[in-house]
Structure 1
């Protein structure tokens, strides 16, 4: 074991499609290039099928989801836990994860950092769902994890406040850093006036389906407002055709490599989001990608109040029929969104983790 090694525990990695896995891999690259920290990946999915070496990073999966299964793959190097309950257990309650980490910590006294991509489902479903009955257990587990950690990181200020309550009398430092782009952070971005009249719809098929069904009128209005001539739909195919928009070429591009997506976004003027309320933009990788590429983020719904430093009309535009906007105003919003993103780019995440470990 190298003295400059860090163990990242993550649900899965490539070839599985996983935003959390992509983030962990990008974080590992910057930790290595900028902070001389080499990552050893331990995967929490026994069914994972992939290479035991990913870009020079050794990878091992646990053979069973149990305390012993986790401990068998750990050494004494500092740990960064990428936590999202449903990534480690079908019902979102991976008690074995806490049991293994607690035993490891007592034995090694090494540093342990947890990145909470989720805390627990406090917006749980009705009483006949498992999330309703398991929510108290999931909350308890999140509390154990934050109290056991030397440092905790999460994506939203509201999540940070939840974790502050869960840590009780422990002094675990907790920082909120919005998520970063998984498809690159290009420099030398061109102004919107010099880009193609292209709009991007990117993300999970369910979220993109909302764009074309529930929020179709808002999408059409956005295209008309900016004279959009081409719409690029990017992601796993939805299984149904994209409805046409007058005078707009509709391109269903499917799954693309990050570099290809980045190139398309660098020559687009706007990106449309339907799936997430404005209150949750700080944890949206799609919103982060739009901001990082200098796009104008367009939403179909308003937020109730400012969250995580994001303001309607300053960092994103809400498309409502009858509400006009100029390209110059769109440029101002895109610039503000890009500046907001710069404060928590990938380097800032890696720097926070490296300093916590050392």
Structure 2
């Protein structure tokens, strides 16, 4: 069995969506014998024409004609699209992509298009381009929902919108919070056996937000948990990082997946500044959960979204008096997050995709 997976980029580019698709392809091959041919849609991407046995084609110009020329002519072919508008067009409006898929899909009633919606559309203030382009982004996402045989997404809120977009066509839309792109270790040491180290991991922008907007909460976390060092993992932030109120900050730079996994397994806590109503689509939160790290959020929410509950699945320094002396309570939070993650880990997701691809 063979599927086509459409992605913006693949490794070696640093792209969470590309990593997601590649890890999924490996698991589909391992568990179900489903092979993948990738189509990379970033003309500037530089990579091999084959990655670990998966053939890779590349769109050299954004046009419907170019896309159609790369898609299989087989009248019974299956295409899995990983959709986020900004991954395929600078302003988040990949008209060329949707038009190309529509033409390919219309050429045979037996062709299957499955779309994983990682994002739907953007919104913003009137002086931002996203405000004015939002109607077109909505239109494109709705077109994709209606032309797809099946839809999947990462947030329950997105699933409700997709149901409306599809005009009732899709009544059962699987919701799959993202899995960890840096692995899922089989053995998880308890917090008591870990270094008193806090990790700040993720994209440059997200980590800059931690240091620029959440420094006081990062400091409070370090004091409450007895943190002895903070390890910053990822491309350089461009900020001058040395200490947080006496706690040294170690800039690790870009690390391999294996290195990051090893660091997380031996760290007490992982800190983030992210919209807690959308944690289910955070690869950083997924990595923390999969490695049994105590997830620490600079933000809070009164809502339970995608099964994630504040103070049950992540720790909040603003609203907690818990310290390292209450390690049992902190361990309970880390365990809850780990158990929540296991309900949608990579093998679970591969099974769900296999059931929806053919």
Q: How would you bin the TM-score normalised by the shorter chain?
A: over 0.9
1:347 paired to 2:344: no
1:280 paired to 2:295: no
1:52 paired to 2:53: no
What is the alpha-carbon distance in structure 2 between the residues aligned to residue 100 and residue 172 of structure 1? 26
TM-score norm. by structure 1 comes to 0.95
What is the alpha-carbon distance in structure 1 between the residues aligned to residue 133 and residue 209 of structure 2? 29
1:64 paired to 2:61: yes
What is the alpha-carbon distance in structure 2 between the residues aligned to residue 171 and residue 83 of structure 1? 17
- Which range moves more in the overlay, 111-120 or 99-108? 99-108
2:255 is aligned to 256
1:218-237 superposed matches below 5 A? 218-237=217-236
Residues 221 and 321 of structure 1, relative CA distance in 2, 3 Å threshold: farther
1:333 is aligned to 333
Structure 1 residue 95, shift from structure 2 partner: 1.2
- Structure 1 counterpart of 2:311, from 310, 313, 334: 313
1:17-36 superposed matches below 5 A? 17-36=14-33
Divergent runs of 4+, >4 A: none
Residues 129 and 211 of structure 1, relative CA distance in 2, 3 Å threshold: closer
Structure 1 residue 129, shift from structure 2 partner: 2.7
1:107-126 superposed matches below 5 A? 107-108=107-108, 109-121=110-122, 124-126=123-125
1:1-358 superposed matches below 5 A? 4-75=1-72, 76=74, 77-108=77-108, 109-121=110-122, 124-171=123-170, 173-246=172-245, 248-274=247-273, 276-320=274-318, 323-325=321-323, 326-358=326-358
What is the alpha-carbon distance in structure 1 between the residues aligned to residue 40 and residue 237 of structure 2? 28
Structure 1 residue 321, shift from structure 2 partner: 7.8
Contact 1:200 1:271 in 2 (8 A): yes
Structure 1 residue 49, shift from structure 2 partner: 1.4
Contact 2:302 2:310 in 1 (8 A): no
What is the alpha-carbon distance in structure 1 between the residues aligned to residue 252 and residue 226 of structure 2? 21
Cα-to-partner distance string for 1:209-232 (whole Å, 9 max, x where unaligned): 222222111111111112111211
What is the alpha-carbon distance in structure 2 between the residues aligned to residue 59 and residue 224 of structure 1? 49
Structure 1 residue 128, shift from structure 2 partner: 3.1
- Which range moves more in the overlay, 16-25 or 208-217? 208-217
What is the alpha-carbon distance in structure 1 between the residues aligned to residue 232 and residue 65 of structure 2? 44
Structure 1 residue 243, shift from structure 2 partner: 4.5
Structure 1 residue 249, shift from structure 2 partner: 3.2
Structure 1 residue 323, shift from structure 2 partner: 2.5
Residues 212 and 169 of structure 1, relative CA distance in 2, 3 Å threshold: closer
Which runs of no fewer than 5 residues in structure 2 stay unpaired?
A: none
Contact 1:113 1:353 in 2 (8 A): no
Contact 1:152 1:175 in 2 (8 A): yes
Contact 1:147 1:172 in 2 (8 A): no
What is the alpha-carbon distance in structure 2 between the residues aligned to residue 202 and residue 252 of structure 1? 11
What is the alpha-carbon distance in structure 1 between the residues aligned to residue 130 and residue 156 of structure 2? 23
Cα-to-partner distance string for 1:292-325 (whole Å, 9 max, x where unaligned): 0000100112113111111111100111287333
What is the alpha-carbon distance in structure 1 between the residues aligned to residue 299 and residue 42 of structure 2? 36
Q: Secondary structure at the match of 1:153?
A: strand
Which runs of no fewer than 5 residues in structure 1 stay unpaired?
A: none
Q: Secondary structure at the match of 1:9?
A: strand
Contact 2:150 2:170 in 1 (8 A): no
